[in-house]
Structure 1
């Protein structure tokens, strides 16, 4: 008799929820039926994409769907109460790492599951990788032998440390950062060797965030488990991706690259001294070739839907739901007891963090209402704009859901304003008495429907709220990416038409539609609109891996859009912010737009040569054939449309790919003449300001 289909609900609709939803679709006998999140619009977007229902609370979801299992995907401080709530409804529970914030909370969750006769598990997802299962099998068979040394690395850039958003839970304290990333390391150590003893902690590369919080960008934990010496290390600065597990055993050595799901086992051979080195290298080459072919076959069969990260989720979910279906215990790697043990190791480590100085009392905020409101004020450009407005003596409000204030030292001038961008009444109240509203926020969606709802719809809602509140100036940041910049012979000015946007990339198309809707409101309702279109914005706090320049493959390799010889429309972050400040001050510019690009200074090739000269780091750069990019896009479109049956897709456009190379030159004369704007024009000064090695690489 076939097993009954298990129904699943997700609690939390953030970034990680999309991964859970996508992987659940690959697990036989499991169906996603509900998504709940207090931000119900986020829940609706995810639920609709997966044929599920959306709710604003766990109780409402359980009352309607009666889910067999629930995944807890919220910020970690909510894991315990939500897990207990789900168990109270009779659901099995899978919790994202970190399982809890303390050992006592973790134990309470496990005890509650036992009392309710339900399974509880943790998503230590890299333990679900196929390569890790092969490693465990090899160790069980004695292929490696008794292990005396183990090194587990998480050497991977953490971009939010340099570019934000700085309100993320993991960036609020060193403890949070280690609880966020530490489980990847400690889960391997515990599963292979058991609890760690004699642990010592060393921190490195401290950095102070705009919130005033000081965080380590690296740490190393030394410990042992039985006769095995164990090193766990993390490095979050820019560099090569090294997320790996290396073992030295009596019979051989093993290296698991858990970022790419590959396993290389190195054993001695019995050939004589002449053939021994050759045979050893051939064996290593053969092992790498087998791993590469295996992974290529997996990606080809799945149309690139089973990347290593997804495979880890798949392994955990399959084990969890198999245990439920067969009424068996959850495998030890993912069970509640292992989650408690990992939390014990983490608690021992975080207890060694140096005591933090007592927080200084924040200066009293100005009780008067803000004069300026910035939407998107915690981002790269937004933070610079807020700083310049505050320096000009303005009282600034920043619309944000984050609790952390990323404006240390400006507490008395900058207020964090809480209001949903979908709630017009709340927005209008927040804008009451405000002279200027800056809309800098951008959406990152996978579908056109998502952009219509969360970019175009939000922008129109903000504009109507500004009209209702009597705001004197509404400044919107579009993008030069909306232009057709595929023609080198044409100089683009603000009078250049965007042209047909129907087959352009979703981001450029959405920003262009936002502008059109705002201009319609300007004409019909008198919206006091000014549009800014920044170029390729660079500067301290900006990303090294800027996708306006090329397609990045980690921090050390990039494929330029095109041949990289044409001059790019670079502009400094501080110069864009200065232009935005001027837009609020200048009379008689309602309805106008301004291209905020610097003078022609650098091509893409020049940019990477400057990085090498200024920082001592030579990034691997290759030219990108735009016709080939277009052709590969056609292949992806065909597979998605006909193999996966996805609708709502637009056929790729060659001009869209050529536009990414910014082949057309841009003029900035209107901004310079009308606003009195003077972007940095000295090449050496521009490079010095744009390429701060500490900001780019985290050193």
Structure 2
């Protein structure tokens, strides 16, 4: 029996879990190592799969633990790491985009050929079972002669409108094509061969901070193998349409590769009366079969074989089946990767120069002298707060994981520094010269143990750093979600308090409450100059359409609101939150907390009616039965805990589910009285700022 192929993951971010789960399910493969510059990230992922963590690619190669690696780092690092691993004797699979250009991709392929190792591209959707059926049916002539093809990626990309703006894909306009284009171009090349691009255009531009424009739509016309191909990328708030449509002489086939569904529409020989009925009955039968089949697969696998997960499994099966046989999986081969990247380069080169232009940052005339620090300054609230502080005459130091932030137009007033939130000395040093610190950071973890490390531990450490650095005021942002808001007859004020036992609450609500508890302990015992702010449901320019504080979204066109949706929600404008936070700097309110909730204004249904009235978009709104949510969650809890045996699974109470509907009304008298806070009180003006001028749909 042959030995299993030992695989390492380089990069432990979001996509790494999908790769790890797929590798775990691939015969003849074992996950042996995880490498990431963050030791915490590497260990956290490795421990869950019985792998060994590394923080250095050189150390991983030298360990001899791996036969192959998946490179999952940001794209600008792919070429260097891939070549190093190939030269170190490892096969490589590189996540898309495999590089930043066709030339870089060729360099990787050349290194693979020289080393005698395999280089595969992570074009995972080519591994979908439904796509494999489409490809086989086309090759067998089931669709007749193919004349045209349309390949679409229509899916909202919220970072374009609400950040974070430091992501690689937003650094240059062309990166949007490099990030999403490989999926589309990979289909075309695999179906028809080399792609000749003949036209490319961009549309629906949006301004990033600093008036740096980015297109949100692309249309590319091409030909391959005698087939006319249209590629469409749409990133505004739109109904999800990720599809491949083939128009043939005998049939039209449409693959929804986001749902793993293939539907084929054919002619029939019936007379004019029966013909349309037969056609629609055939389509209905296919839709019913595809839906029932996929539901059965997900139910039987306890949702571990969703379409996205199945695409990775299919890719891995092809890649490691080929490697085990001493060959290369042609659909994912290095030669295919080069061809795909060359076509994307050709498309980018056909775009007008003004589309590809990157706005130069404003020239710095002086070095900032910050007295305020914003941790989480690149987020929705943080960006508004930072700009408000600058408008008030303060220079600001923004703590970020990167060295750049969303303030290229404010080089004289804002500096971005990088410091680990787990390094007390580093945080203390970063606070040098700072008078006030705003901690807007949050960690959305999946276990209580991780919450204690990455949320409670971080908040406490920031408080201790403020003490050591002599900061005069720490403003911490908690959340109103920590309250029990299940009782419509109970008004909530700052005196309401949280439950003593929060173990039956969702992790976010429980973790933020514990952060407050530990910080208040530092205030009482050691004099930490603390003020706590709890924002309501924050809306306004730069905020998302799909706000999960209102309901559970199913794309941009449908939402199931929490509860019946007739109770008034605690909405508040982002600019009003920034104003309230700034007022906490000098007010004599140390050791106190404030619920920053706007005046009673809109219910969930009112909010969506206003979107329809102001923007002409009718969103399908359904009431959410909270008892049904609770019961469904109980079933999922049982499956995760007893069938999948996942550790640390929690089950929020019925009161927790009811709290998501914000049934309990808030009283905002205290921040008005003690801070002089004046949230927007005019309904017409509120709707104008929260909806009409908020660019919720991106265009």
TM range (shorter): over 0.9
Tell me what 1:550 maps to.
551
In structure 2, runs of 5+ residues without a counterpart are: none
* Whole-angstrom CA distance in 1 between matches of 2:576 and 2:546: 20
State whether residues 212 and 408 of structure 1, in contact with CA within 8 Å, keep that contact through their aligned partners in structure 2: no
- Determine the structure 1 residue equivalent to 2:583: 582
Equivalent residue number for residue 106 of structure 2? 107
Pairing 1:351-430 to 2, within 5 Å after superposition? 351-356=349-354, 360=360, 362-364=362-364, 366-367=366-367, 369-430=369-430
Which residue of structure 2 lines up, in the alignment, with residue 537 of structure 1? Answer: 538
Summarize the alignment of residues 582-661 of structure 1 with structure 2, pairs less than 5 Å apart.
582-586=583-587, 588-661=588-661
Give matches, 1:657-696, under 5 Å: 657-692=657-692, 695-696=695-696
Whole-angstrom distance in 2 between the partners of 1:668 and 1:18: 43
Deviation at 1:361, TM superposition (A): 6.1
Structure 1 position 403, deviation (Å): 3.8
1:346 and 2:344 correspond:
yes
In structure 1, list runs of 5 or more residues that go unmatched. none
CA spacing shift, 1:15–1:268, aligned 2, 3 Å: same
Matched with 2:75 is 76
- Find the residue that maps to 1:397 and give its secondary structure: strand
Who is 2:287 aligned against? 288
Indicate the residue corresponding to 1:9 in structure 2: 8
**1:617-648 CA distances to partner (integer Å, 9 max, x unpaired)?**
01000111101100001000000111111222
Distance apart, 1:464 and its partner CA: 1.1
CA distance in 2, matches of 1:287, 1:339: 33
Provide, for residues 532-589 of structure 1, a one-character-per-residue CA deviation record: whole Å limited to 9, x for no partner.
0000000011000001111000000000110001111000000001000001121x21
Q: SS of the counterpart of 1:496? A: coil
1:42 aligns with 2:55: no
For residues 671 and 121 of structure 1, the distance between their equivalents in structure 2, rounded to whole angstroms, comes to: 58
Residue matched to 1:149 = 148
Per-residue Cα deviation, 1:234-272 (whole angstroms, up to 9, x for no partner): 111101111111111111110001111100111111222
Alignment of 1:254 with 2:239, yes or no, is: no
1:126-158 CA distances to partner (integer Å, 9 max, x unpaired)?
Answer: 111111001011112110011101001111110
Q: Which moved more, 1:352-361 or 1:83-92?
A: 352-361
Instruction: Quote how far apart the aligned CAs of 1:437 are.
Output: 0.5
Listed one character per residue, the Cα deviations across residues 188-210 of structure 1 (whole Å, up to 9, x for unaligned) are: 11111112225211110111101
Q: TM-score, normalised by structure 1?
A: 0.98
3-state SS, counterpart of residue 645 of structure 1: coil
CA distance in 1, matches of 2:272, 2:368: 83
Instruction: Give the alignment of 1:211-290 within 5 angstroms.
Output: 211-290=210-289
Deviation at 1:381, TM superposition (A): 0.5
2:171 corresponds in structure 1 to 172
Distance 1:450 1:61 in 2: 26
C-alpha distance in 2, partners of 1:240/1:269? 31
TM-score by length of 2: 0.98
Matched with 1:122 is 121
CA shift, 1:65, in A, is 5.4
Cα distance in 1, alignment partners of residues 451 and 50 from structure 2: 19
The alignment covers a number of residue pairs equal to: 696
How far apart, CA to CA, are the structure 1 residues paired with 2:282 and 2:118? 43
Instruction: Decide whether aligned partners of structure 1 residues 37 and 673 sit closer, same or farther in structure 2, where only a CA change above 3 A counts.
Output: same
Distance 1:280 1:358 in 2: 50
For structure 1, which segment, 180-189 or 49-58, has the greater mean C-alpha deviation from structure 2 after superposition? 49-58
Determine if the alignment matches structure 1 residue 527 to structure 2 residue 521.
no
Q: Aligned in 2, Cα 1:358/1:673: closer, same or farther, shift over 3 Å?
A: closer
In structure 2, how many angstroms separate the alpha carbons of the residues matched to 1:365 and 1:377? Answer: 22
| 8 Å CA contact retained: 2:212, 2:358 | no
CA distance in 2, matches of 1:451, 1:472: 27
